Structure 1
Amino acid sequence: MKRSLGYIKAFVLVVIICLLYGFAEKRHKSRGISEVRVQFTDSENLYVTEEVVNKLLIQNKAAVSSIDKETLDLNRVESLLNQHQMIENAEVYLTLDGKLEAIVSQRKPIGRVVGNSSFYLDKNGEIMPLSQFYSARVPLMFGFDGSNVSKAYAIISHIKKDDFLNRHVTGINRLKGDKYTLELREQDFELYFGDSSNVALKFNNFKAFYKKAQKENKLETYKKVNLQFGDQVVCTKK
């Protein structure tokens, strides 16, 4: 009899524990979000602000405290963030203490088209709108539109990844036949690039030419520097 009573007590204790756990779990899920926190993955200037992300995080523009954890759809919130034109990727999760956190990676512009329509070209070669919060310091692109800007991606991308070119190249002009000239920060000679083939070779030749001519104080004597032949740099003096 005592043995049976012990089993009954143990069973009742398990039931009570399960009920308490279920009750605590339900209370936990029904609590509102205590805080929303946004973390950007880099320290660059923001093309989309924390305030904008906060508004996207809160479904139907409701107050944070009115959203309970059980009805919050994290996948939907993530999808809303990832649809934003300035965001490359977002991860959203809930912490144990009731905070809604978002880790946001911004899209990164590498060139800015200037003309009838103005927009950025991002690091993935896709069109990115201008931001109302910050203007990126990237090479300006003239003579481009949405139909042809991707053809210059190899050139702009190479410039962005090279410290020397990043310091010296300020713009790119599109000519007929998808040929290009580049604008330099400190020099007034025309830098003719030609088409977008052999990008690395052309730029390596240019850097070697520039450093040699700079050392010999000859940079200001040139009217045009032509890189289109790939294997050599052809210069025209003033």
Structure 2
Amino acid sequence: MKRKAKNVLFIVGSLLLLSGLSVFAAVRQAQRPVGRVIVTIDNEFNNFFISEQQVTSLLTRNGNQRLEGAHPQDLDLRTLEQRLKTHPFVRDAQVYRDLAGNLHADVRQNRPIARLTHADARQDEYLDADGQALPLSALYSARVVPMAKLNGQPLAASFFQDSTGRRYLEFLRYIDEHPFWRAQVAEVFISANGKLIFTQQVGDQRVEFGFPENISEKFAKLMVFYRQIPPALGWDTYHRVNVEFQNQIICE
């Protein structure tokens, strides 16, 4: 019985010691000045719209607020995160300190899925997966599908915000989520009646897609065309392919 009691006391004492050490380490870490500033940018999709230098500039207000050597009580991590999120290509940001006292800034980039084109290319803008406009970047040009009205008039990002526009956004998302179509679809147009037409990177066919509905089924029909017609008759046999009608592929 005494041995069991000693074991219990030993375990309790060990737990108290560990708790005390943890509290001591936390207090010491909280009082330690900032060491290095470590910036990590998520480049999952090989986009380079924001640089490490730009992140550092946002954190330090263009160098006006020194972070290295700063005392923890002088830092507001939430404020630093909000500064990073003011950049249009920052989708999310987390700022935190590690046990060594270093300040980490982890940035997740926003990513365009289309480019809304204008007669003057300097007025072009990107569109992200939420239907929000993104500016062009001097650092990087994204290889995404261009989109405009068939008459050459530009589309505003606000077009994609209502229930009708969201259907066209779903069409663009489908292209972006499938590497084959992302590589094959060259340029997308919306006709006056709202139907979609696009050109291709390989082949001279103009694809008449119709309204943005039954999207996966229509692309599946187009894949049937690719697998059966060009290998047998050549890519230049037809110049118009229509997949808008159910269970039909019309070629001319």
Give the TM-score taking structure 2 as reference length. 0.77
Greater alpha carbon shift after TM alignment, 118-127 vs 135-144: 118-127
Give the whole-Å Cα distance in 2 for the aligned partners of 1:168 and 1:198. 19
Aligned-pair distance for 1:31? 5.0
Q: State yes or no: 1:137 paired with 2:148.
A: no
Query: Given the alignment, which residue of 65, 78, 85 partners 1:75?
Result: 78
Alignment of 1:97-108 (within 5 A): 97-108=100-111
Q: Which residue of 2 is the match for residue 146 of structure 1? A: 157
Q: State yes or no: 1:221 paired with 2:232.
A: no
SS in 2 for 1:124: coil
Q: Provide runs of 4+ in structure 1 moved above 4 Å.
A: 28-31
Q: 1:201·1:231 contact (CA, 8 Å) conserved in 2? A: no
Identity of aligned residues (%): 28
Q: 2:35·2:102 contact (CA, 8 Å) conserved in 1? A: yes
Instruction: Tell me the C-alpha RMSD between the 2 structures.
Output: 2.4
Structure 1, residues 133-157: CA drift from partner, whole Å, max 9, x if none?
1000111112222232452211111
Give the TM-score taking structure 1 as reference length. 0.81
Aligned-pair distance for 1:234? 0.9
Give the whole-Å Cα distance in 1 for the aligned partners of 2:235 and 2:30. 69
Structure 2 residue runs without a partner (length 5+)? 1-19, 150-154
Q: State yes or no: 1:180 paired with 2:196.
A: yes
Q: State yes or no: 1:190 paired with 2:206.
A: yes
State the one-letter code of the partner of 1:65.
Answer: E
Aligned-pair distance for 1:218? 3.4
Aligned-pair distance for 1:25? 4.6
Structure 1, residues 38-65: CA drift from partner, whole Å, max 9, x if none?
1122351311111111112225831223
Structure 1 residue runs without a partner (length 5+)? 1-17
Alignment of 1:2-151 (within 5 A): 25=27, 29=30, 31-43=32-44, 44-58=46-60, 61-65=64-68, 67-115=70-118, 117-143=123-149, 144-149=155-160, 151=165
State the one-letter code of the partner of 2:220.
Answer: N
